Structure formats: structure tokens, C-alpha cells
Amino acid sequence: MLDDMLDGSSGRPDTVLVESFPARPSTAPELSSSSFTPPGHSVAVPYPPREIYSQMSKFVILVVDFSEAVLLSEGTPITFQALKSGIAEALGTDAEVKLVEMIMSSYTGLSRNPIQNDADLCDFYGAVQAETSSNEKAPSKTDILVQQLREHYEEVIASHVRKIEELQKGNSKLREKLKEREEDLSSLTGQLANKLSASEKDIAKRVKGELDEKLKAYEAKVAEKEKQFKAQLKQKGQQIVAQQREISDVRRELEKTREDLHSSEALVKEHLQTISEQNARIDELIAECERLMKEGVAHAALCPTTLEETMGEHPSRRESLRISRSSSRRASVESAATRRSSVASFKHFEQRSRFTFTVPNISDKIERYQKGRPYLSEEVNDITGLEFAQVEFFPRGDITSRDGWCAIKLRVPNRTKVRW
């Protein structure tokens, strides 16, 4: 292989793909076939483009196969400088070839040697000779090289044979040691098997004893727990029976309370009806009294005229009319006083037996209050027959109320019987 580098700055090489090789420039000198290319052999040289930029690094690699090459003449070969000039001219450039290397493949591998002078070039041409000589006294370079390689490989083979023999000896020794180790291993395996069986029996016996002891302890604990559970179950059963009795008593009381409640509701309805009838009767009496008062006033206005006429005719009758008028006036005053006293006493009794409880913003309280939260009224102390009374209103109902229902409770002194 021949490497030649052209002038230019160091950097990344710029390669150009040339689809068709241009013709040889007319200014390039003719190449001597006797000095550069053997007859009957040709070298394909790709020509670069005509314009070469000096600021970019370019190089060309020429590969020539010399495996079957033969020197053309016995004369002195061309010089190294002439070879470089011929390469530059063959490329059609006026450039200095800086580096030429030869890469040779042989039995020992690849060798890469630079060609820097004529002596290196002569060595290269000498290495290219591939003809053998049958003369043992004047052997060719090929015979010498083959003999050297044969001796080298014979030494290598002998060393490998010695290593193989040593390895075989070591292998036989290792096999003997392996056989001894296998015999020792078989004896140790039998001993370990006997020890293992004895240990298994011992462990099984010990574990069985410990398991029996723990099982007895667990059985005793289970029996104790079962006894305690039965006692607790019996006690809970008695408590359940007692609670069932209490529940039945509470249910009976609840039924009785419901019956009393129904009877109280009936009495309340009767009393309300009676009160409404009494109120209607009182209104009728008041209207009758007012009518009588109007008639009495009108009668009193007419009495003086009639009295004068009567007195003018009969003085004795005038005296009797005066007496009758005074008695009538006295009766009217007493009747009016009696009526006012009865009405006042009834109103006073009515005021002392009832009071009004107003709940402001009841819709807002129904929305904001939680179940069980009450809205309390003021304590009332002037109710007939009670020291105090207070109303508790639950907008969302008590904890025992149904959803969506309100609840009302009346707080009264202890031992007070109230009919709703």
C-alpha cells in the first residue's frame, strides 16, 4: 500500500465522490512504463477535480497488489525521489508527496514500514521477489524466509508439545487426587448419613416431647377459657332475660302512657270545646248586657218627661215613679257591676292559665339547628297552680323523633301532673 499526503493544513479530510474519472490533463508529463509500471500491467488512478483548495487537507491512498509481481530488469531501480515525482505526475498535480509506506502480509502477520530513502525502496523491491532457487549454496530470499519460518514454527510446536506433556502429567496427578477425594467423600457421606439419621431421631423425639407438653398446656388453657366463657355466657343470658323483662315492663308502661295520652287528648278536646262554648256564651252575655244598657239609657231619657206629666196630674203617682226609677237605677248599676266583676274574673283566670310562646324565624331555625338542639322560652312564674313553666322547642326534632318532625317539651316542677 502506498500513502501519499498532499500539502495543506491539518484537519478533517475532505473526500469527493467522483462518478467518472476525468481525462488526463494535457499539461501532465507522460509516464514511463519502464520506470514506473511493468508492461502488461496498469494502475487505475482516480484523478481529483481540477480545483484543489489549499486550505483543506486532502490525501490519496493507492493500493497496488504485488503478490505476483516480478522485477522488470536487473538494472538499478528508480530512485525514491523519482518515484514520488512519478506519483504526483500520475495524479496530474504539482504537489510534494510527503509519505510513502509499504504494508506487507507474511506468515508472521502484517508489517507496516515507511519508505523514506532509496535504501528502503531497494529493500521493498527485494521483498517483492517471490522466485525460489533450487541451489542450496545460493538460496533465494524466499527460501531463506521459508526456512526461518519453518524453524520458528518448529520451535513453537515443540514448546506446545512440551506444554501438552506437562499438562497431561498434571491431569493424571489430578485424576489420582480426585479418585482419592471421591473415596474419602464416599466414606464421609456414609458417616454423615448415619449421624444425620441419629440426629433426626433425636430431634424428632425431643420435638415430640416438647409438642406434647405445649399441647397439654394449651388444652388446659382452652378448658379454662371454655369454662370462663360458659360462665360469662350464663351471666349474659341472665342479663338478657332481665333486660327483656325490663323491656316488657317499659312496653306495658308505654302502652299505658299512650292510653293516658289518648284519654288526655280527648279531655283536652272536651275542655277546649267547653272553653269555646263558654267564650261564645260570654260574648252573648256581653252583647245582651250592652243592649240592656242602651235600652236603660233610652228609658232613663224618656222617664223625666213622663214623670212630669204624671206628677202634674197625680202627685202621689209622681212619688211612686221616683221610687221606681231609683230602684231600677240601683238594679241596673248592681247588674252592670256584677257583669264587670264576672268578666274581669274570667279574663284574669284566662290570663293566669295560659301564656304565649313565639318562635321567631322558625324556618331559619329548622334549617340551621341540628337534631336534638332546643330553642327555650322564658320561664313563666304566674301560671295558676305552678311555680314555673318553660317550653323547649326542637326545630329538627329530639333524638328520639322521626326525621322531618319537630318536638315540644314542657318543663314543670317535680311531681306535677300535666294533661296535654
Q: 3-state SS of the chain: helix, strand, coil percent to 5? A: 55, 10, 35
DSSP secondary-structure letter at 76? Answer: P
DSSP secondary-structure letter at 111? Answer: E
Length of the chain in terms of residues written: 420
**Nearest-5° angle of CA 119, CA 123, CA 124?**
115
Residue by residue, pLDDT tens for the chain (420 residues) are 334 333 333 333 343 333 343 444 443 334 333 334 444 434 444 444 444 444 445 667 777 766 666 566 555 567 778 877 888 787 777 777 777 887 776 666 677 778 888 787 777 776 665 555 555 666 666 666 667 777 778 888 889 999 999 999 999 999 999 988 888 888 888 888 888 888 888 898 889 888 888 998 889 999 999 999 999 999 988 889 988 988 988 998 898 888 888 888 888 888 888 888 888 888 888 888 887 887 777 766 666 655 555 555 555 555 665 665 566 556 656 665 665 565 555 454 454 567 788 888 888 888 888 888 998 888 877 666 677 788 899 999 988 888 889 999 888 888 877 776
Residue 390, pLDDT score = 86
Residue 165, pLDDT score = 92
Residue 134, pLDDT score = 59
Residue 304, pLDDT score = 60
* SS3 of residue 409 by DSSP: strand
* SS3 of residue 206 by DSSP: helix
Tell me the sheet residues that pair with 408.
Answer: 393
411: CB partners within 8 A, 6+ apart: 389, 390, 391, 392
Query: Where does 323-384 show beta strands of DSSP type E?
Result: 375-376
Tell me the sheet residues that pair with 35.
Answer: none
Residue 168, pLDDT score = 92
First to last CA, the chain: 129
Global pTM?
Answer: 0.22
* SS3 of residue 389 by DSSP: strand
Residue 357, pLDDT score = 82
Q: How far is CA 336 from CA 292, 297, 307, 381, in A?
A: 10, 13, 25, 33
- The one-letter amino acid at 67: S
